[in-house]
Amino acid sequence: MSLNRIVLALLALIMAGCSTILTPTYGVRQGQLAVCPAQRDCISSQDKNPNLYIAPLAYTSSRAQARSDLLIAVTVAGQGRIVSNHRNYLRIEYPITDKSNTEYFYQPENSVDDVEFYLVPDKHIIEMRSIARLGLLDIGANRERLERIRAAFNELQQRHN
């Protein structure tokens, strides 16, 4: 085998390895959102690691009202685009626009955070997960976004009591 073929084969393996790091995993499988990958900025209400954990949303209204309130609350977090809108599941893409803290912040141009919500059947909770699609660090932007959504959601829920 020539040296050129070996180099090409190694490059192909490296490229394939890099693409699997960035391959997104979304949705609910057996009642669970995807696990937060170690190498990416992510938080989840289903993660066991305290650094990656965020409490799920809780609601006291009907499920239909909670879903409606969630759809309104996600608009508070920015100009997101709803890409999956199902009875038990919602996914929104939020473009990263604030890159003001350039000393610690690395996100490629046109990067996106993916936010997922799972309305758990037969429970009054909404599991949530937010992950940076690309980039290494967001200094808490995913958590901050979900907490803004939580505040708006809770305010809407209180109006129904």
Give the pLDDT confidence score for residue 73 in this predicted structure: 95
Phi-psi region of 110 (alpha: psi -120 to 50; beta: other; left: phi over 0): left
**For 50-91, what is each residue's pLDDT tens digit?**
888 999 999 999 999 999 999 999 998 888 899 989 999 999
Domains of the chain: 3-159 (3.30.310)
Backbone angles phi and psi of 89, in degrees to 5: -145, 140
**For 103-122, what is each residue's pLDDT tens digit?**
444 545 567 889 999 999 99
**For 11-37, what is each residue's pLDDT tens digit?**
444 444 443 344 457 788 888 888 888
Mean pLDDT for 125-134 is: 89
